[in-house]
A and B are shown apart, each in its own frame.
Chain A
Amino acid sequence: MKLLIFAGPPSAGKTAVIRQIIRQLAGEYAIAFLKIDVVRAFEDEELSAEFGIPARKVYSGDVCPDHTGILVLRDAISWAEDLGAALLIVESAGLCLRCTPYTTQSLGIVVLSAVGGTNSPLKMAPMIALADIAVVTKVDLISQAEKEVFRERVREVAPRVDIIETNAVQGTGLRFLMKAIRNVPEILDADGIVLRGMPPLAVCTICAGKKEIGWQHHFGILKTLDGADDLYRGE
């Protein structure tokens, strides 16, 4: 089975790209789909109804959705394998621009919207830098010159990432994405899969329920306004 992991901010068009993949590759691969989101998500029901593929979702609730994704990923691989799937598509919530949910033995795809602003690739650098492919959507809404400028920004963050421009609703340009999916190797050793990058050090006393404002009331990994680097203070 092949594993695809999708990241990208909300409304970039992750699901539109996934829809094109299912439409074009369902004849070649049995596909299973997992959506990870925080409070509500509908993609699983929509894709299951539209294409008749097995699909499910998990809500992270109070936990970081990208952490949740990693926690449930091993179970999800077994679930999809038991169903006889040849391609598992995992769609992240796309909230944290610092996170990189991509793992080894997978194809990591970040979906970016061309209308998200020229600096958006810089703002979500970690999400792009560790991806294999950056799919830039909504290119039908911008000019040729803007496309080139946007691509240059993505290149600043990730000089080697494979950039694919598309109007995901129409599916233009996605033949290169399908080619990359066909070429990605299958999972060889599911128990050996690890995250590609370091997740942010997210656990702090606020996560544990302390509500006071100001770092003086907290301990662990802290920040001050001036010199906002990490500092550590024990209890």
Chain B
Amino acid sequence: MEPFAITTITVLPGKSKDGSREAFKEITIRAGDMISIVGPTGSGKTAFINDIEVFACGDTVTERTILVNGEVPPDEMVRDPAKKPIALITQNTKCLADLTVQEFLEMHVKARRIPDDTRTEGTISLANEFTGEKIAGTMRMTSLSGGQTRSLLIADAIFVSSAPIILLDEVESGGIFKENVIASLKAHKKAVLFVTHDPLLALLSDRRIVMRNGAVETILEPGGREKKALARISDMDRIFSCMREKIRAGELLDEEVPLP
């Protein structure tokens, strides 16, 4: 169904906010890559993934260039969202489509010219693995909570768009089960780039792009060197999640730290 197989996406350097060239030679993204993008607010994290999403060709403020399989992508791929190999989940947690969940997904399936009509059900059930508040096909898109919306859009990106590259802007917001999202993206062999302020998510990635003043400052490839930190943050995160769920459920935490 794809016009051609995508093996790599390459980011070529642009410039920082003060106009100096970025120091990296190129960043290549392949299927299965987990790349986090970190840095202070205003450092250019969102601009970085937006460049990838629009297939920048020196025409954005950063002047970066994006190549697909080492070449400038064909117009058709850039212009027709249904042929786009990239799905971006923005920080927005509101969907503005004036439709029910079922209608929205059916229309998206139609836009993608997919003959298989089991996708809508699959998408809803996958989304329900990401959120604690159950989504039903009869709900209106505009009435979904922030977490439900993001869960549904991520599930849609996996199941309906079948995009090989997924860009996530602060997936941790909206109170969704972030590890389930990451595990599911890994299981579907997606290349994932995510902007994050969450230490656990940052440590789960294979590569970490550090942004400063609009430019890529460094690219870290920790290998196994952060194992200890990851183990520690995983434990802490379990405590966090456990307490959060109890607080959400209206419980009083009057005992010792309730370890899972």
Contact = CB atoms under 8 A, between A and B. Distances in A.
Contacts of A165: 79, 81
Contacts of B112: 148
A145 B157 contact: yes
Contacts of A172: 50, 54, 59-60
Given A140-B90, A172-B60, A151 B111 contact: yes
Interface in B45-72: 50, 54, 57, 59-61
Contacts, number: 84
A159 to B, nearest CB: 13
A171 B104 CA distance: 28
B98 A152 contact: no
Interface in B136-169: 153, 156-157, 160-161, 163
Interface string A106-127: 0000000011011100000000
Interface string A143-154: 111111111110
A11 B27 CA distance: 39
Nearest to A143: B153
A173 B54 contact: yes
B160 A152 contact: no
A224 interface: no
A204 interface: no
Given A149-B107, A149-B108, A172-B60, A144 B95 contact: no
B242 interface: no
A153 B98 CA distance: 12
A164 interface: yes
A170 interface: yes
A141 B156 contact: no
B161 A144 contact: yes
B99 interface: yes
B111 A143 contact: no
Interface in A86-140: 114-115, 117-119, 140
Contacts of B84: 144
Contact of B96 (A141, A144, A175): A141
Interface of B: 50, 54, 57, 59-61, 75, 79-82, 84, 86-90, 92, 95-99, 104, 107-108, 110-112, 153, 156-157, 160-161, 163
Interface of A: 114-115, 117-119, 140-153, 163-165, 170-173, 175-176
15 contacts: A114-B96, A118-B97, A118-B107, A141-B92, A145-B153, A145-B157, A149-B111, A150-B97, A163-B79, A164-B79, A165-B81, A170-B60, A172-B54, A175-B59, A176-B79
Top 6 nearest A-B pairs (CB, nearest first) are: A152-B111, A148-B111, A144-B87, A118-B98, A148-B81, A117-B98
Given A141-B92, A153-B107, 14 more contacts: A117-B98, A140-B50, A140-B90, A141-B90, A143-B88, A143-B90, A143-B153, A144-B88, A144-B157, A144-B161, A145-B157, A147-B81, A148-B161, A151-B82
